A = this chain, B = another copy of it.
Amino acid sequence: MAGRVRQAVADATIALIEADGALASSVIDSDVAIDLLRVKIEEDSFQMMALQSPVATDLRMLVAGLRMVSDLERMGDLAVHVAKIVQLRLPQSAAPQQVLPIISRMGSLAEVMVGRVEHIIAANDLDAARALDEVDEEMDRLRRESFTALLSAEWSHGVEPAVDTALLGRYYERIADHAVSVANRVIYLVTGEMPNADGQVS
């Protein structure tokens, strides 16, 4: 599921940068598969809870898994939001030239973060999980930078691209927040210690 979300985030960003309507559509269409994976994982988890009455660590792992799939599904939805903004502005690019480098860097960073999440879940890699916070700070820095650009006197693209840029930045920032949230759940499962990052985490 994390792999599919990573692909969706990567494709949405390419669609954005290249104003590629077909790729944007494919991001939107393939979100169904992510949603179905969530349903499947939930059903399996509930069945295990019902049939095997797991306790302690096993139960905690199942509950954490349910919440991770919520995060992952939501990240997929946010990739769809990016793709929908792409479609709205075709044949133009939704990311005006002036902020294209920032937006494109946010997109790559989001993809990297989801890729790390994929690895963190598979390998219980605590060092990678703890390091994700720093990557998230870079995302926050880029978002502030995008605001500085679109609110500056040099902004020449008008209202609509400014609004698009603000919303795109918000979507990427939220993808990053959910990635940190998944990483923190893994840390909690393995160590019992809950990182306290921005109230994003349970």
What is the interface of chain A, defined by CB distance below 8 A to chain B? 31, 35, 38, 42, 46, 49-50, 53, 55-56, 59-60, 63, 66-67, 70, 73, 77, 147, 150-151, 155, 158-160, 162-163, 166-167, 170, 199, 202
Contacts and interface: CB of A to CB of B under 8 A. Distances in A.
Contact of A56 (B50, B151, B170): B50
A67 to B, nearest CB: 7
A178 to B, nearest CB: 11
A170 B158 CA distance: 20
B166 A202 contact: no
Contacts of A70: 67, 70, 202
A92 B160 CA distance: 22
A192 to B, nearest CB: 11
Given A53-B53, A63-B66, A66-B67, A199 B77 contact: yes
Report copies per complex.
2
A149 to B, nearest CB: 11
A136 B146 CA distance: 31
B59 A49 contact: yes
A56 B118 CA distance: 31
Contact of A159 (B38, B59, B151, B170): B151
Contact of A38 (B59, B66, B202): B202
B73 A46 contact: no
Given A35-B199, A166-B166, A202-B38, A55 B53 contact: yes
Contacts of A162: 159, 162-163
Contact of A67 (B50, B67, B199): B67
Contact of A63 (B38, B56, B63, B159): B63
A54 to B, nearest CB: 9
A92 B122 CA distance: 49
Contacts of A38: 202
- 5 tightest CB-CB pairs across the interface, nearest first? A163-B166, A159-B162, A53-B55, A35-B199, A151-B160
